């Protein structure tokens, strides 16, 4: 019978959450201020010239994209920092020698990172309701996409945290890869507005599938099918789990 070390999982999870609570005001204030600025700039400046996109008011249209932008970056940064600091300080060997399996360690770190991302995403959603009327046609799928995205990219961030040798590498992927892909992934516009061949090129951007599926759960409109969005998320999560299994099995950048 498989026994789960609940005490070990809870200890790591609680430690990670307490680290966030020490900067709770910054964690709350930053997404609130950022969201307000996005609505002032994008909703005010662009929304005054482009009233609707796909039958949805532009201010409301950008809410799912804005949430997805923050969730992706927060999931990656929280998970990567969570595992990188034990490597940096040398306490990773205590975790590896503890009666804690690789599955349990990943569950604790990724669970904490995903919890933070979901909380920040909900804060952004709440803040958005003060600026625009937000409608959620498929609340179940909205929650499902929120959870799946947070977990999948927390797994991805965990991989980056293991792979990174220094702080420069730790910040390189989120800042140079993920953020540009998000801005080019239809977060603030529909890819249907792009001329060819750029629309076709955009379909190779994985973030398009995330934003599209998430936006569909709000307004019933998306750039690609929901099945394609769910298929991408499932495949991406499976790839991350397989890579993490290999990293712990071989001790890649975890053991000397």
The reported pLDDT for the residue numbered 2 is: 58
The reported pLDDT for the residue numbered 131 is: 84
Stretches where the chain sits below pLDDT 70 are 1-2, 43-50, 256
Give Cα separations from 24 to 83, 155, 199 (angstroms). 20, 23, 40
Other beta carbons within 10 Å of 166: 10
Other beta carbons within 10 Å of 140: 9
For residue 103, give both structure tokens: 């599955």
- Residue 203 DSSP code: T
Other beta carbons within 10 Å of 173: 18
Cβ neighbors of 78 (< 8 A, separation 6 or more) are 16, 20, 112, 113, 116, 117, 154, 157
For residue 14, give both structure tokens: 């609680």
For residue 88, give both structure tokens: 């940096």
For residues 111 and 96, give the distance between their C-alpha atoms in angstroms, rounded to a whole number: 18
The reported pLDDT for the residue numbered 111 is: 95
Backbone angles phi, psi at 134, to 5 degrees: -100, 130
* Half-sphere exposure in the Cβ direction for 151 (13 Å, CA): 17
The reported pLDDT for the residue numbered 91 is: 84
The reported pLDDT for the residue numbered 47 is: 58
- Residue 204 DSSP code: T
pLDDT tens profile 202-217:
888 888 999 999 999 9
Collapse the DSSP code of 57 into the 3-class scheme (helix H, G, I; strand E, B; otherwise coil) and give the result: strand
Cβ neighbors of 129 (< 8 A, separation 6 or more) are none
The reported pLDDT for the residue numbered 188 is: 84
């Amino acid at each position: 019978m498989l026994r789960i070390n609940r005490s070990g999982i809870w200890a790591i999870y609680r430690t990670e959450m307490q680290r966030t609570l020490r900067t709770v005001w910054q964690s709350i204030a930053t997404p609130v201020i950022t969201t307000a600025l996005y609505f002032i700039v994008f909703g005010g400046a662009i929304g005054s010239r482009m009233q609707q996109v796909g039958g949805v008011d532009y201010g409301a249209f950008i809410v799912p994209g804005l949430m997805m932008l923050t969730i992706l970056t927060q999931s990656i940064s929280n998970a990567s920092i969570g595992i990188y600091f034990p490597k940096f300080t040398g306490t990773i060997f205590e975790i590896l020698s503890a009666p804690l399996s690789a599955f349990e360690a990943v569950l604790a770190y990724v669970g904490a990172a995903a919890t933070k991302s979901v909380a920040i995403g909900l804060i952004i959603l709440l803040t958005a309701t003060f600026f625009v009327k937000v409608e959620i046609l498929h609340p179940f799928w909205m929650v499902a996409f929120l959870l799946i995205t947070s977990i999948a990219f927390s797994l991805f961030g965990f991989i980056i945290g293991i792979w990174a040798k220094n702080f420069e590498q730790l910040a390189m992927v989120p800042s140079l890869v993920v953020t540009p892909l998000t801005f080019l992934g239809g977060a603030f516009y529909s890819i249907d507005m792009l001329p060819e061949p750029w629309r076709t090129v955009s379909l190779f951007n994985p973030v398009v599938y995330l934003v599209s599926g998430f936006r569909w759960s709000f307004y019933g409109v998306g750039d690609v099918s929901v099945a394609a969005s769910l298929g991408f998320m499932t495949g991406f999560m499976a790839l991350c789990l397989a890579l993490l299994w290999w990293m712990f099995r071989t001790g890649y950048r975890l053991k000397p």
